[in-house]
Copies of this chain bind each other. A is one copy, B any other.
Amino acid sequence: MQDAERWRELGQQLRVDSIRAAAVTSSGHPTSSMSAADLMAVLLDAHLRYDFGKADDPHNDHLIFSKGHASPLLYSMYKAAGAVTEEELLTFRKFGSRLQGHPTPEIPWVDVATGSLGQGLPYGVGIALAGKKLDRLPYRVWVLCGDSEMAEGSMWEAFEHAAFFELDNLTAIIDVNRLGQRGETMHGWDLDSYANRAKAYGWHAIEIDGHDVEAVDRAYTEAQATSGQPTVIVAKTIKGKGVAEVADKPGWHGKALDNPEQAIEELGGIRNIVVDVHAPDRSAEPYVFATSGELELPTWDEGEEVATRLAYGEALEALGAARGDVVAVDGEVSNSTYADKFAKAFPERYFEMYIAEQQLVATAVGLQVRNWVPFASTFAAFFSRAYDFIRMAAISQANIRLCGSHAGVSIGEDGPSQMALEDLAMMRAVHGSTVLYPSDANQTAKLVAAMADREGIVFMRSTRAATPVIYGADEEFPIGGARVVREGDDLTIVGAGITLHESLKAAEHLAGEGIEARVIDLYSVKPADGDTLRAAAEATDGRVLTVEDHWPEGGIGDAVLEALSLGGDLPARVVRLAVREMPGSGKPAELLAAAGIDAEHIAEAARSLVGAPVGAR
């Protein structure tokens, strides 16, 4: 069989198998799969370089379905490649199957979870960056995109950065099938719309008929021959191609076909072509950055005043010296987050993401696909811009380290737009996340080191203002632990970061009044140290005061209550101080006082808590 003929047959097989898969539970997106079948048939048979027997081979190409809902097509490709049996294909969307409605890395050949649109290409940029600048291997990144998702701004962050970094190892394929979920897209079949945008961003753009397999093949060849810029192939396709009942008809998005057997017949029936996928280019080995090997964390003397954000920057630099696999990305604020220290010391392992937080997080996710250890930083408030990427990163089982600086009202005059007051809530609600909030520089350094190899999404909140060093440089801070910084049995005060220091000041005042407060540093907000918290609650007759530079919901107060509730009996009385009114500008001290979370207000709340008898309101 000639190449073209084989590709057409394979395309039909992929259509047939997509329909068969969706028929299993009568759900899924077969028509979205059918439009891209020819594009993927040619890719799989003639251009993708991948060893399905060795998913973790660093030389492998990477294929991402940014239009993740076309999962039937992806899984049908795996079957054609011999990686998945027909039997397994027919478990699509069934409970317990790894062939889920949208692809996840439960499947070894899937790098990143998609399904939330507009994300696959940003992840692809991260992987391509790894390929070009870190691994320095010739693998290619192929991203299948939908036309509907081109409306997502994150796609254009990807376009911008891919061109800026000259990622000619990245090829985007846009399946322009004209129909979104609800109706026609903004641009229909106007391929120029997409191509002109791409060219304005500095990409090479090729417009083709997505069902002309020879044109598809030529486009892939041209993309691979293009240097200095990434290529987008803008392919005109028909949603539901091959089955008259659904081809180019609205109303069929996300629906299994009513008459799958009839459709399969119309497509020429079931086939069993097995593709011998081209092996990866194994001519080179992944680059390894030289390092000192020994981790020498920075240390500070007790009593010094040091901002934890500065400690983050210095610790990250030290980590970078010891670990060649550590890389950093930041969002145009590295002189504020202090990621600039790493950037200056290791310019080959630092990538400026500019003001594009979605791409910032997506790049980190892409880099860790290739086992690099990414630390991504920006203001904690701005990680909210990338929350959907963080949410999806958990489904991707990604190992990413995030540092958000400028936490809380204590940043001062910049005002609320720059203040993170919901970041603890946001990050606690991420599956499998770790949430750290150090109070001093030595603790920060130790936690930064611990972040490097911790699985999952690890978030550290750092403070703008300088705060006293209260821990020795030799102290250890296990994640999931808490520190009793001050002993006392009259009440428990739980703080972290800036409020830990305010709590200690309050405790001093209270001691003068004969009230001995047990002050706990909850540097590990998640997982929280339930044992220490429960022991403290018990020892202090159930009187617990929590204080956070954060809204009342979802942060330290909630974390403490949750930990206390897990022990069975709850303590009698928990008072929660937090920021309850929208702050404005002002000096840090003014803002902390206005929010009722400074030493004076903590002491006041403590007096009330101790004064009232247990069992009273």
Residues of A with Cβ closer than 8 Å to B? 25, 27-28, 68, 93-102, 104, 106, 113-118, 148-149, 151-157, 160, 164, 180-183, 185-186, 196-197, 199-201, 330, 332-336, 340, 352, 354-359, 381-382, 384-385, 387-388, 391-392, 394-395, 412-418, 421-422, 425-426, 428-432, 526, 551-555, 557-559, 561-562, 565, 567-576, 582, 584-587, 590-591, 594, 614-617
Contacts and interface: CB of A to CB of B under 8 A. Distances in A.
A617 B100 CA distance: 38
Nearest to A147: B355
B584 A182 contact: no
A457 to B, nearest CB: 12
A153 B153 contact: yes
Nearest to A395: B416
B355 A151 contact: yes
B391 A381 contact: yes
A486 to B, nearest CB: 23
Contacts of A151: 157, 160, 332, 354-356
B181 A117 contact: no
A428 to B, nearest CB: 4
Nearest to A425: B429
B568 A558 contact: no
List 7 A-B pairs, minimum CB-CB distance, nearest first: A153-B153, A115-B417, A95-B586, A425-B429, A422-B429, A101-B415, A200-B200
A569 B615 contact: yes
Given A97-B585, A355-B148, A431-B582, A104 B561 contact: no
Contacts of A431: 421, 551, 582
Given A102-B418, A151-B356, A573 B584 contact: no
B417 A102 contact: yes
B186 A160 contact: yes
A94 B574 CA distance: 34
Contacts of A429: 421-422, 425-426, 551, 553-555
Contact of A415 (B104, B414, B590): B104
A553 B554 contact: yes
A473 B509 CA distance: 58
A157 B149 CA distance: 11
B413 A116 contact: no
Nearest to A153: B153
A555 B68 CA distance: 28
A164 B572 CA distance: 59
A333 B552 CA distance: 33
Contact of A553 (B196, B414, B428, B575): B428
Given A426-B426, A570-B570, A617-B568, A157 B153 contact: yes
Given A181-B332, A384-B387, 17 more contacts: A25-B413, A25-B587, A94-B585, A100-B416, A102-B418, A106-B584, A113-B417, A148-B332, A152-B157, A153-B359, A197-B197, A381-B388, A422-B429, A431-B582, A553-B554, A553-B558, A562-B576
Contacts of A152: 153, 157, 355-357, 385
B416 A180 contact: no
Nearest to A430: B422
A158 to B, nearest CB: 8
A172 to B, nearest CB: 15
Q: Which of A96, A117, A332 has the most CB of B within 10 A?
A: A332
Contacts of A154: 153
Contacts of A332: 148, 151, 180-182
A596 to B, nearest CB: 15
Contact of A387 (B183, B385, B587): B385
A101 B415 CA distance: 5
A304 to B, nearest CB: 24
B333 A182 contact: yes
Contacts of A197: 197, 200-201
Contact of A186 (B164, B181, B391): B164
Contacts of A104: 415-417, 584
Contacts of A186: 160, 164, 354
Given A94-B585, A428-B553, A430-B422, A149 B590 contact: no
A341 to B, nearest CB: 12
Contacts of A591: 95
Contacts of A180: 332, 354-355
Contacts of A330: 182
B116 A385 contact: yes
Contact of A568 (B117, B196, B587, B616): B616
A118 B101 CA distance: 33
A553 B526 contact: yes
B553 A417 contact: no
Contact of A557 (B562, B573, B582, B587): B562
B568 A116 contact: no
Nearest to A586: B95
Contacts of A25: 413, 587
B568 A570 contact: no
A352 B561 contact: no
A101 B553 contact: no
A391 B422 contact: yes
B101 A382 contact: no
Contacts of A569: 572-573, 614-615, 617
Contacts of A587: 25, 95
Contact of A384 (B153, B160, B391): B391
A355 B115 contact: no
